[in-house]
Amino acid sequence: MGTVVSLTVPARALETAAGPRTPVGDRELDAAADAVERVFAHFDETFSLYRPDSEASRLARGELSLRDSSAGMRDRYADAVGWRLMTEGAFSPERPDGVLDLSGIIKGYAIGQAGEALRSRGITDWCLNAGGDVLVMGSPVPGSGASWAAGVVDPQDRSVLFSAFQLGGSGTLHALATSGSAERGDHIWTAGSRRAEFVQVSVAAADILTADVLATAIVAGGTAMLDRATDGWEIDVLAVRRGGELLATPGFRD
C-alpha cells in the first residue's frame, strides 16, 4: 500500500486460558507480525492501483468487469457506495475520470482485519499504526486502564506534533485517522473544481474504517460535511484550514 506499518505490543499482553496475562514471547510476536503482514499483502495484491497485476488495475484497464470481479471486490464496492450515500456524496469510490478506486476504504479495512488477527492470537494490548492511521486495543500499561497517546502532525511541518489524542484505555474511541494534502498533495477529490477547504483532517472514532472514511469525506466536503459528521457519528475531529485556523471538537481541546 506504499506505507509503513508498525505494531507496538507492551509486556504482559497475552491472555491465557487461565485468565492472567503473561509476557508475549518472541515466537508470539513473530507470529503476530507475520499475520499482520499477510493481511496487508492480501489487500495490496487485490486493491492497489499501483500494481499492474492487481484486480483493481485490471478493472481500471477494462480487462475485468465489476460483475465478474471477486466477491471481496464487489463487497468493498458495495460498502463504499453505502458510505457515499451516508456522506451525501462527499466520499466516493470513483475517481473524477470514472475509474473505480477503493483506496479510501481499503486501508481502514486492512487495519481492522489486522487487529482481528491480533485479537485471535490472544494479544489483548497493542497499537497498530499504518501510515499515521492508528488502531489500538487495551492499554500501553496492561491492566491499568491507561490510554494510548496518538499524535497528530503539523501539516506545515511534518517533523512536529501539534496535538495528541487519547485512544483506548477506558474510553470508547480506539481509532484515529488523518487525511489531507499536506503530505501527498491535493489527491482527495472535491465537488467541481473547487480547492479543498481543509489541508488536514484527523478523526477519532470507535473503529478505524469510520475514522478513515470520515476524515477523507470532511476534506472533500468541507465545513458542511464536518457538521454532518459530528452530528451523525460519535467522533472527535481536528480540522486545519489552509490559513492555519483550527476547528476542534472537545476531545481534541482537552
pLDDT band with cut points at 50, 70 and 90 for residue 254:
low
pTM over 0.85: yes
pLDDT of 24-82, one tens digit each?
667 888 888 999 999 999 999 999 999 999 999 999 999 999 999 999 999 999 999 99
pLDDT band with cut points at 50, 70 and 90 for residue 16:
very low
Helices and strands, counts by H and E, the chain: 6, 11
> What domains, with CATH codes, occur in the chain?
5-253 (3.10.520.10)
Selection from 137, 212, 194 nearest residue 171 by Cα: 137
Residue 185 has pLDDT above 90, yes or no: no
Return the axis-axis angle of helices 103-120 and 208-232, rounded to nearest 10°.
120
Beta-carbon neighbour count of residue 40 at 10 Å? 19
pLDDT of 99-140, one tens digit each?
999 999 999 999 999 999 999 988 989 999 998 899 999 999
CA 114, distance to chain mean position in Å, is 12
Residue found by looking up cell 489524542 in the block: 165
> 148: burial class by Cβ within 10 Å (0-12, 13-18, 19+)?
buried
| Distance separating the N- and C-terminal Cα atoms of the chain | 34
Which residues, in sequence order, are CB contacts of 88 under 8 Å at separation 6+? 221, 225, 228
Selection from 246, 217, 251 nearest residue 234 by Cα: 251
**pLDDT value of position 44:** 94
**pLDDT value of position 180:** 87
pLDDT band with cut points at 50, 70 and 90 for residue 91:
very high
**pLDDT value of position 60:** 94
64 — phi, psi (to 5°)?
Answer: -145, 140
**pLDDT value of position 194:** 61
pLDDT band with cut points at 50, 70 and 90 for residue 1:
low
Which residues, in sequence order, are CB contacts of 110 under 8 Å at separation 6+? 1, 39, 40, 43, 130
**pLDDT value of position 163:** 86
Residue found by looking up cell 486495543 in the block: 137
